Structure 1
């Protein structure tokens, strides 16, 4: 009888440990590729990065665009936490407000569409986001980087004079999905002429996995100052204290608490505390219903916060979802807007022989 009891105990132990071992068997990180369409005679592909936890990031080589970030909520239910479209036609259409794209040659704004560099004035095609055909509207070369952490390398050659900017510029963008549920963005560039360069990614996040308003999110920003700007969001050159303003997120605060006091919503640049050029925590966003949290780390000195103020139900996104005003949160890491025209702002001029480097990490977790 004792032998039988002992045998049953051993069998139970074997079954339990076997179940646990199966449950903990990690998913092998993979990269897959599908045809997404054709644009201007060039083929567009969508690549899917999957890590050992089943988290996925999807990227197309039009605009080096992040189309999907699929992560678990607190109940392990997977959901897409970025706004996007169903087709290449939509991404190339007029309703696309740079969703998920890399923005350059100079992201954000340049006053009066001009700047002076080394005694020469340059006139640009536009005062915003690199021009009507900036990096977000270009077809990039793309290739896989296999390894423990799956990654993609995208490159783009911006010709001298493109959109009014000087210098032949070679840009490299590497997206890496780690097994710690981090999406790493590594930018680098070289030029043959001095040129301003401000790169960012313009992903619209909604951690709820919907297009609902982000009013209840808790947001923390490691910045004590923001850039004073006019009604067109053009900086004056002055840095103002956030204390006592609707822009104070030095402690966790609901995005919607003071949003009415901003008139149309948040659209401003923060001067981050970290000025070292080394990677540091810039912001944390927490969505209470799903329990998803996103921590943003960057080497950049600035952070643009934008709440999708221009969105309306007229715009139809992925799976037929209507966009909504204040239905997303952009946390764009970058140098300050209009930097070429403000000597007191951190330098954004890249010169021959130098290599531009920048890193941002979006880390996802739940609580």
Structure 2
């Protein structure tokens, strides 16, 4: 990896102006305890650690963003065959590398100011509600709430223009193999009721395995459906359309012309949405695939592979939905981590989450979070270089 301090630079005179851009923890006590204590260390997310692959972490740099004077930090963790760099801005996975494979596995920017000006949730934690909410409104326990309409002036995307991905998180804890970040969103921010306290824990937990564990509580009934939003690319060709993809889902949510889930589901068999067997991505997608009806114990739900690098990525998650977004709207005018401008289709997102637009579709798994409850999800991304 390039030297981390020289790789990230920030002109501290530049101001940050962000542009645009009742779910119980599980259906049973067993699932609750699993998610509460596991952090990807049991069941399918665990691999036996190889003693020779030591883990390390370090705080590598920090920057002050005016006028708020927020101390944005970059933290690097390494081990198990992976090297990851995380920013406290948006709890963003800025860079991810695999031993024996030089190019970055995710899209990102080398300079912090490019995240402030041009990021499309690159590597960020989207929330409190990832994806779209129709009309930017919802009714919770008979009370109507209006949220920031930051997409087409008609719907809420990723929690609004000031959502989790556009906020500064604090470093809550670090260890040899992990970093945990925390945020507290005040009552009413972007229209969401209740103070929301959330954490994001990035951890290297085995050979080529990165886990992302998200937790949240609230002081009032609110909506909560966080998600990780990295753009993955498994080779250095700048186009993921020939990556092969398998998704273990036989139904998909249809979307309208604004990519808002309409509530209609479609059997994927015999359609262009059929990824039940691995095939090239080929076309643009921004749809949620229905993996289950509720949150469950983590299991493998998808695999992405490059025919050129022979790198594969398995997605393991507790979430009942998986959003496939092929990055066909990427348009940042500045160079990314690979030194070139990332064009449309330069990377794709596989975003584990609850089904999107749930407030407008009562038959969908609920995303209402209540005081005394804890929302917990776990997703793992396992990389193999064959």
Q: TM-score, normalised by structure 1?
A: 0.86
Deviations 1:239-294 (A, max 9, x none): 111112111100010111xx1xxxxx111111114745110111100111111100
| Residue 204 (structure 2) aligns with | 177
Residue in structure 1 matching 2:324, options 294, 305, 311 = 305
| Residue 222 (structure 1) aligns with | 248
Cα distance change on mapping 1:219 and 1:204 into 2, 3 Å: same
Deviations 1:173-195 (A, max 9, x none): 11101232211111111111100
Deviations 1:285-314 (A, max 9, x none): 011111110000111110110111112474
1:152 aligns with 2:179: yes
| Residue 124 (structure 1) aligns with | 147
Higher relative contact order (CA 8 A, sep 6+): 2
CA deviation after TM superposition for structure 1 residue 44, in Å: 1.2
Residue in structure 1 matching 2:116, options 92, 109, 122 = 92
Residue in structure 1 matching 2:92, options 65, 68, 77 = 65
| Residue 194 (structure 1) aligns with | 221
| Residue 142 (structure 1) aligns with | 171
1:49 aligns with 2:77: yes
| Residue 55 (structure 2) aligns with | 29
Distance, in Å, in 1 between the alignment partners of 2:249 and 2:126 is: 23
Residue in structure 2 matching 1:112, options 135, 140, 148 = 135
1:240 aligns with 2:266: yes
CA contact (8 A) 1:211 1:324 kept: no
SS at match of 2:71: strand
1:350 aligns with 2:369: yes
Cα distance change on mapping 1:236 and 1:329 into 2, 3 Å: same
CA contact (8 A) 2:261 2:287 kept: no
CA contact (8 A) 2:293 2:365 kept: no
Distance, in Å, in 2 between the alignment partners of 1:228 and 1:137 is: 28
Work out which of the two has the higher radius of gyration on C-alpha atoms and give 1 or 2.
1
Cα distance change on mapping 1:86 and 1:276 into 2, 3 Å: closer
Distance, in Å, in 2 between the alignment partners of 1:356 and 1:312 is: 33
Q: TM-score, normalised by structure 2?
A: 0.82
Residue in structure 1 matching 2:336, options 291, 314, 317 = 317
CA contact (8 A) 1:224 1:241 kept: yes
CA contact (8 A) 2:259 2:286 kept: yes
Unmatched runs of 5 consecutive residues or more in structure 2? 1-49, 150-155
SS at match of 2:187: coil
CA-based RMSD: 1.6
Residue in structure 1 matching 2:239, options 213, 217, 227 = 213
Distance, in Å, in 2 between the alignment partners of 1:246 and 1:315 is: 33
Distance, in Å, in 1 between the alignment partners of 2:114 and 2:89 is: 12
CA deviation after TM superposition for structure 1 residue 322, in Å: 1.4
Distance, in Å, in 2 between the alignment partners of 1:133 and 1:125 is: 8
Distance, in Å, in 1 between the alignment partners of 2:261 and 2:101 is: 42
Distance, in Å, in 2 between the alignment partners of 1:252 and 1:163 is: 39
Q: How many residues align?
A: 329
Residue in structure 1 matching 2:380, options 354, 361, 367 = 361
SS at match of 1:320: coil
Distance, in Å, in 2 between the alignment partners of 1:120 and 1:289 is: 53
Distance, in Å, in 1 between the alignment partners of 2:112 and 2:192 is: 28
| Residue 12 (structure 1) aligns with | none
